[in-house]
Structure 1
Amino acid sequence: MTLVEIPGSKSVTARGLFLAAAAHGTTTLGRPLHSDDTEGFAEGLVKLGYRVDRQPGAWTIEGRPSGPGVAEADVFCRDGATTARFLPALAAAGTGTFHFDASGQMRRRPLGPLTDALQELGVDLTFHGEPGHHPLTVRANGVKGGELTLDAGLSSQFLTALLLLGPLTAEGLRITVTDLVSVPYVEITLEMMRRFGVDVRREGKTFVVPPTPYQACEYPVEPDASTASYFLAAAAVTGRTVTIPGLGSDALQGDVRFADVLREMGAHVELTPDSVTVAGPSDGLRGITVNMRDISDTVPTLAAIAPFASGPVRIEDVYNTRIKECDRLDACEENLRAMGIEVATGRDWIEIQPGPPTGALVKCRRDHRIAMAFSVTGLLVDGVTLDDPECVKKTFPGFHQALAELRANWGV
């Protein structure tokens, strides 16, 4: 058995930063993720006038329930979707003029359902390019609150941003959702809001958020389940065993369910409250048809090991992966075809036939998940190289070193 320490969750770190900034008192986030995305979020808070002390192993944030501590700011959100979607909502609850922009990659990703909702709530918001995209300016004067209808079928982050905003409004929010993807990420948001003193009530498809003030707390950040998927997949496909401590059945993150997908394919999985262990089967993985709507960040991980299964692997109901850092279904198809694997895709599905991959240059498309997923393929295939290995810094700067250590430990 090999133990692999996974860095903190990006999703939990980002939500923790928002909640800490909005809370009464001083919050300490234990073991937060240090990556380009989370550093960008923290720097965005600093630009908005929040005090953030980043020390190794712990970040301390002084809350400002009244909103940003400056009257004007320019915030660059880098590639971070949580930064680009959460911080304009946080700024809207304060007073001042706040300009937001992002990388070219993030400019292409949609904001429309969220910005439409903010405008419906009376937020003065101006786009400086394509409507529903960065760059934009928020002229904030607080948010009264009220009722909304929201389509979160492209990203659960639209709903999360509004849920997080709700307690900062004068009257609270009632958000009725017509469609919702990646439900487990919303569950993370609701549980973390409870830890910061706010209970959201659910009435069918409606989320009722009270205008209850957030209260600071000590919050430990659990390991990142999406990142863990690469190491679990590596064990499953090589016939080895790996254990991830700190991530188990008690985890907030839905992507821990990727272990269940590997179990369906024949891997042995042991889940305790605070650890997950995967052992690859001696006779290889089986093909599978699986709906991954709720764990779509792990789609590239499964696609990258699919050729080694004994039968076809079909992944369904994952249209939202087409509007992530890149079109991930298309990227998986392109890279698998370059390795000589037969692949078919549709609007929201991909089907991968079994076969021996050959070495190829992986086109990462500046997407950390494509780079990390196909690095796992490279454990069993000579000649797999990445055109942009450094893009992993978005969520796991030490990924290549960690995978190299695993390879050396296993002798593969």
Structure 2
Amino acid sequence: MPDPEAQGKPGGSVVIVPGSKSVTNRALFLAAAADGTTTLRGALRSDDTDAFVEGLGVLGYEVERGPDAWHVRGRPSGPSATEADLYCRDGATVARFLPVLAATGHGTFRFDASPQMRRRPLGPLTTAMRHLGVELRHDEHEGHHPLTVVGRGVRGGAVRLDAGVSSQFLSALLLAGPLMAEGLRVEVTDLVSAPYVEITIAMMRSFGVRVVRDGDAFVVPTGGYRATDHTVEPDASTASYFFAAAALTGRQVTVPGLGADAVQGDLRFVEILERMGATVRVTAGATTVTGTGRLAGITANMRDISDTMPTLAAIAPFAAGPVRITDVHNTRVKECDRIEACAVNLRRLGVRVETGRDWIGIWPAVPVGTEIDCHGDHRIAMSFAVTGLRTPNLTLDEPTVVRKTFPDFHEVFGALRHRWGL
């Protein structure tokens, strides 16, 4: 529960953040692969999770989504479909997790995705899949969707993987490991956003499988998963916008359900806000950020929590000194080039910005209102909505892109802004 003392501050607000997209889609994979029927509570309903459920349905899995809980009937033997065409939309976890799941079945499965998702890399994952005995082909450009997978079960064994562009490549293989005949050993040569892999491992454990870490290798036993009753915690990346809003305006935000035992690494974003001068309180059942309205300049390595990089970039102009965000090259191959998207929008706001291959530097400024180019990216839209709390006449060119992870973002954020009188 929220900290009672924290709720006494003027401007203190409890914000209910929807379920984590990352946790929801991992839970859907695990439930589909498990023996029995799994109940999911608090799952996120958004474009990305709709795409994942739709994909499972095309593969022959049964998913029933009710108002209070979702029920997934597992198939440890793999998809029941023997031929299918799946459209992954913009969903990276859909486009990277489901081809591996499809390979555990028997049939021909064709995958395609939006133009945005087609541009994003897939090659390190499909190279590893081939080494594990999976027959597949890239139908247009090597290393990208569209993709055809011929499922004959997956032999498994040992493989090397470069996950320096996306940790999702590793998560996809780990999730499927228990379904492979020989189990799986993945030696990782590079890894970005490691906390997302920790989410995967923690969730696999809750479905009955323990991953063993052996230096740079991850070892997964064969044997499958067992169905369970799983509650999806609120999305920590989404919570970052509300925490940043509190730090920026001198108000207070409490997010219930994200506490000391949260599995999502992106909750560490509050540590950056604390370094900038906000007060942070993490209890067993909630996290509270209390701002002063003053922010200090910092240098922050955000390699492990790079999805929150745009959140920090969006409030950086209001800091008393420069803000430098480092080791975030992988954000250049997300829904858009997020380093460049942040830089372009900040410059349009009148902010001095410098960038390099894997970093962005932002100087103090008084931003002037402009239209933000969201680049089709939900995180750019939600991040710069926070900038708008202290920037009159700031608008978004594509406000609806938030449907990817938080369809009601503008309503919830607008209600908070109204309560604060901003």
Aligning the two structures, in what range does the TM-score lie when normalised by the shorter sequence? over 0.9
Alignment of 1:286-305 (within 5 A): 286-305=296-315
* In structure 2, C-alpha distance between the alignment counterparts of 1:94 and 1:9, rounded to whole Å: 28
Question: Aligned ranges for residues 13-412 of structure 1 at < 5 Å?
Answer: 13-282=24-293, 284-412=294-422
CA distance in 2, matches of 1:221, 1:363: 32
TM-score w.r.t. length of structure 1: 0.99
Code of the residue aligned with 1:315 in structure 2: it is I
Distance 2:107 2:76 in 1: 15
The 1-side partners of 2:259 and 2:214 are apart by 29
Q: Once the 2 structures are TM-superposed, how far is the Cα of residue 248 of structure 1 from its aligned partner?
A: 1.4
Output the CA distance in 1 between the equivalents of 2:360 and 2:37.
46
Q: Deviations over 1:80-108 (max 9, x none)?
A: 00000000000001100101000000000
CA distance in 1, matches of 2:150, 2:162: 24
- Cα distance in 2, alignment partners of residues 230 and 99 from structure 1: 37
Q: CA deviation at 1:58?
A: 1.5
Residue 116 of structure 1 aligns to a residue whose secondary structure is helix
Tell me how far apart the structure 2 counterparts of residues 291 and 79 of structure 1 sit (CA, whole Å).
27
What is the identity, as a one-letter code, of the residue corresponding to 1:356?
Answer: V
SS in structure 1 at match of 2:227: coil
5+ residue gaps, structure 1, are none
CA–CA separation in structure 1 for the residues paired with 2:242 and 2:148: 41
Once residues 268 and 319 of structure 1 are traced to their aligned partners in structure 2, the CA distance between those partners, rounded to angstroms, is: 29
Gaps of 5+ in 2: 1-11
Q: Distance in 2 between matches of 1:13 and 1:57?
A: 14
Between the aligned partners of 2:39 and 2:137, the Cα distance in structure 1 is: 34
Tell me the SS of whatever aligns to 1:378.
helix
- Give 2:135's aligned amino acid: D
Supply the distance in 2 between the matched residues of 1:262 and 1:151 (Cα, whole angstroms).
Answer: 31
Secondary structure in structure 2 of the residue aligned to 1:148 = strand
Measure, in 1, the Cα distance between the counterparts of 2:143 and 2:131: 14
Offset from partner CA, 1:203-236 (integer Å, 9 cap, x none): 1001111002100000000000000000000000
Give the root-mean-square deviation of aligned CA atoms. Answer: 0.6
**Matched residue of 2:97: which SS?**
helix
Q: Structure 2: how far apart are the matches of 1:165 and 1:51? A: 18
Q: Aligned AA for 1:63?
A: G
For the residue of structure 1 that corresponds to 2:365, the secondary structure is coil
Instruction: Using structure 2 for the length normalisation, give the TM-score.
Output: 0.97
Question: How far off its partner does 1:288 sit?
Answer: 0.4
For 2:187 and 2:148, locate their aligned partners in 1 and report how far apart those are by CA, in whole Å: 26
- What is the rounded CA distance, in whole Å, between the counterparts of 1:346 and 1:127 in structure 2? 32
SS in structure 2 of the partner of residue 230 of structure 1: helix
Shift of 1:143: 0.7
The AA in structure 2 aligned to 1:345 is: T
Counterpart residue type for residue 409 of structure 1: R
In the TM superposition, structure 1's runs of 4+ consecutive aligned residues that sit over 3 Å from their partners are none
Alignment deviations for residues 148-189 of structure 1 (CA, whole Å, 9 cap, x no partner): 011100000000000011100001011000100001000000
Kept in 2: contact 1:32–1:57 (CA 8 A):
no
Shift of 1:57: 2.8
